[in-house]
A and B are shown apart, each in its own frame.
Chain A
């Protein structure tokens, strides 16, 4: 078995997530935090929010990428060890949503990531905000898609 396949299988067991609130309205961020609390409790599945991109397998972006945080997002992605996945939570992260015409937005989140890594793996979870159940379903799809 190739090393890369093995690493992906290992990642499936307990994906650690680094959450970057890029410039959303807080709503997605709170629903993401909600996933950690007693009713949904994704820690049961080994999913954890971690404090540094260097510890993370999944980069979770919520909100449109504003000019202010575009570089920070790219840096965070580059600091993550491979194999890595990007989870875009919320309509704004997926397609810029209501911010499509805003002067402050640096571009769709997927483009901002693809600029630094052409082969990035992206998973989209649309919704305004997606309910915790939807976010969990997104994570499950992500895990199914890996190896």
Chain B
């Protein structure tokens, strides 16, 4: 006998509202439906009422975690219309800002994943190591997350080079911390047993759903805009695309943890090689035309489309955020799982609703709930505890069940 369980839209663990309808038979999930639209904000319309100089500042507020992503990508789309090559120094500055953002976003995810399975220690660690990243961001750009740097044709302000030695020291310390965290997560037998084989998305399914970013790379697809259609300073720097073939939650965690290392290297190299010269192309007039921007956000490929009618404001701005294509893959990865694994699988593609919901359809929020999200998390944590006992290990976690 099948039951329908509604989770959300407000549940205590994800900060953003989204509603999931799980159809279950016993403990097994046989269908899942996602309802979004609680935080539709109409940002694309607002962008059409602002000048090209103002829009990057607005689009930074699409999403707090990917702020540089959306503003830089809008610039990519407009620069596509202009056929403009950005000055080298601006390309390097964009790389530094973008990679720092990737580091703090991935650390945030690692922490949340730990939280979902009851490893509060991992949560606290990851978020503690995230703080110095925000400090670096603040030292370099003046703000913890919204840099306000990207501008069509380059960047608005230069980076203060006197802050570089301090940033390098912080990066060195972070390198060791990330290594420790990666080792601790990868060597833990309980985590391996808990995460392996959970929420598997095969390479075929990943292709069929068109997933992007770490979600695709964990399923063995080497897709990364930074390598496929290089922008900023990536072609001139030494780094590699991380892939894993398993497609489960563990693989997604491994991909993100190893990418942290790559990103730290990228920031270091970009600071080392930062060329002198102008930081933007000066005042521009955007002619009639259409442009596409692509950018590898921490969650995957982000696409911006801009149509210009020759005035000082864009006629149409369209954003396709990475979570928008990653969220439907829940159908492939959650069906057949037990309820205790659902939260983890949902979290594994790091869905970001702020990015996704500019265009989602608003549906009715009514309907009673039979089980709360905290119940689901409790189930997820109990499974961790069970596995720890089976492995004969004292669970190192402070499992607050209930």
**Residues of A participating in the B interface, judged by any CB pair closer than 8 Å:** 19-34, 37-39, 49-52, 63-64, 66-69, 71-72, 76, 98-99, 101-105, 128-129, 131
Cα distance A127–B45 when bound, in Å? 23
B130-187 interface (Cβ within 8 A of A): 130-131, 144-146
Tally A-B pairs: CB < 8 A.
Answer: 124
**Residues of B participating in the A interface, judged by any CB pair closer than 8 Å:** 9-12, 15-17, 37-43, 45-46, 49, 58, 61-65, 67, 108, 111, 123-124, 127-128, 130-131, 144-146, 352, 354, 362, 365, 372-374
* B40 A68 Cβ-Cβ under 8 A: yes
Known A-B contacts A28-B64, A33-B15, A76-B10; A22 and B124 likewise in contact (beta carbons under 8 Å): no
Name the CB-closest residue of A to B124.
Answer: A38
Q: Which 10 A-B pairs have the closest CB atoms?
A: A27-B64, A51-B12, A23-B39, A37-B127, A26-B64, A29-B15, A104-B42, A102-B42, A68-B38, A38-B128
Chain B residues positioned under 8 Å from A71 (CB to CB): 365
Other-chain contact of A37, B62, B124, B145 (Cβ < 8 Å):
B124
Name the CB-closest residue of B to A38.
Answer: B128
Name the CB-closest residue of A to B70.
Answer: A25
Q: Which of A32, A69, A128, A131 has the most CB of B within 10 A?
A: A69
Per DSSP, chain A at the interface is loop
17 further contact pairs, Cβ within 8 A, besides A23-B41, A30-B15, A38-B131: A26-B65, A27-B61, A32-B15, A33-B127, A38-B124, A39-B128, A39-B131, A51-B374, A64-B41, A72-B9, A72-B38, A99-B41, A99-B42, A102-B42, A103-B42, A128-B146, A129-B144
Known A-B contacts A68-B40, A72-B38, A102-B45; A25 and B15 likewise in contact (beta carbons under 8 Å): no
Cα distance A104–B354 when bound, in Å? 14
Show 17 A/B contacts (Cβ-Cβ < 8 Å), sorted by A.
A21-B39, A23-B38, A23-B39, A24-B39, A27-B64, A30-B64, A33-B15, A37-B128, A39-B128, A39-B131, A52-B12, A68-B362, A68-B365, A69-B9, A72-B365, A98-B61, A129-B145
